[in-house]
Chains A and B, each alone.
Chain A
Amino acid sequence: MTAPHADQLIGQYVTRLEAALSSVAPARRSELVADVRNHIAEARSELAGETDADVLNILDRLGDPAEMAAAEMERTEPAAPGRKESRVLEIASIVLLLLFWPVGVILLWLSKTWTTRDKLIGTLVPPGGYLGALLLGAVLAYGAFSPMCRTITDSAGHVLSSSCPSDAAQTSFNVIAVLLALFYLVGPIFTTAYLVARLKKREAYPATPLGAASIIGA
């Protein structure tokens, strides 16, 4: 049996909870609201014949939404200073991505600071870093300077057939070459800035667990 005003009472409580959690990130807020709704559903399922008083009792035991919000804010405070981790691996990785890409990439994937998305961007924008740029440059130069026209002549020197790539093909080759060159020039600058920004963000909000000693030592 359902209490006459169960939906109304629970709705009011959830509205107050959502308001109290207004400064929490939306995804996390809806997760907490879902946790509370599940909690209420579990508590109600244990009652044989529920009354409004039973529902009010469940909500009362959950406590003031403001208290829950306070607990959530306190739990997301940045960790105390003095627990800063060393960033040697990350800095070496960023520098080597520019100077010697293969080693830089290995360090990048060894680091636990960046997410997989960060690592993919670090690896693929651009692939090979400046080392890749050198290789690509060599290929492009070969393409640009090698003879574009094939001419077949007979033993007497008469031209039998001649084929040159069309102007359109030549132009699109040039456009692709310029775009690739730009990508390889700008890519590493973007990637370096991006990885440094992500590193700084992680330093501001590190996920360091509270040490066992800190509650006793405090």
Chain B
Amino acid sequence: MALESLVTQMRKGALEYCVLALLTQPRYGFEIVQRLGQIDGMLTSEGTIYPLLGRLRRDGLVDTDWRESPTGPPRRYYALTAEGRRNLRAFRNEWSTFRTAVDAILKSGATS
């Protein structure tokens, strides 16, 4: 059970930065959901993306603007701010250090 909750926490924490990574180009909400949906297990309840997007905007990590849609109602587009870009860069570094460290230990444990 502890493992299950750890995986939930890790996914939740990483999701925020995956969304930031998707927003290096402007995208609208449903498009973000579709992108994340292509990767199994990343987004369990699609609706929870909207509270997350709202918080990223409140924290100044993304900006929004409305654009016309060729098919239906106008779409709210999200894009990274300079601050969002900085946070994403910091996460990339931390993540690759963390992943390398854990991989190295898992591997050495298996061979010795």
Binding site for B on A (CB under 8 A): 28, 31-32, 35-36, 38-39, 41-43, 45, 61-65, 67-68, 71-72, 74-76, 207-213, 215-216, 218
Residues B58-83 near A (CB distance < 8 A) = 58-61, 71-73, 75-76, 83
Binding site for A on B (CB under 8 A): 9-10, 13-14, 16-17, 29-30, 33, 44-48, 50-55, 58-61, 71-73, 75-76, 83, 87, 90-91, 93-95, 98
**Cβ of A215 and Cβ of B13 under 8 Å apart?**
yes
**Chain A interface main SS type:** helix
Which chain A positions have C-beta within 8 A of B14? 215
Q: A68-B51, A209-B60 are in contact. Are A35 and B90 (CB under 8 A)?
A: no
Task: Identify the 9 closest CB pairs spanning chains A and B, nearest first.
Answer: A63-B45, A215-B13, A42-B30, A75-B55, A72-B51, A71-B51, A212-B90, A62-B47, A209-B59
Which chain B positions have C-beta within 8 A of A75? 51-52, 54-55
**Cβ of A38 and Cβ of B55 under 8 Å apart?**
no
In whole angstroms, what is the CA distance A63 to B37 when docked? Answer: 14
Q: A72-B54, A76-B55 are in contact. Are A35 and B17 (CB under 8 A)?
A: no
**Cβ of B60 and Cβ of A28 under 8 Å apart?**
no
**Cβ of A68 and Cβ of B50 under 8 Å apart?**
yes
Cβ contacts A to B, 16 pairs, < 8 Å: A31-B54, A38-B75, A61-B46, A64-B45, A68-B48, A75-B51, A75-B54, A208-B59, A209-B83, A210-B59, A211-B90, A212-B17, A212-B91, A213-B90, A215-B10, A215-B16
**Cβ of B72 and Cβ of A41 under 8 Å apart?**
yes
Partner of B45, one of A43, A68, A213: A68
In whole angstroms, what is the CA distance A64 to B48 when docked? Answer: 9
Which chain A positions have C-beta within 8 A of B71? 45
Known contacts A31-B54, A39-B46, A67-B48; can you find 10 more A-B pairs with CB under 8 A? A35-B50, A38-B75, A39-B47, A68-B51, A75-B51, A207-B59, A211-B90, A212-B87, A212-B93, A218-B9
Which chain B positions have C-beta within 8 A of A36? 47, 50
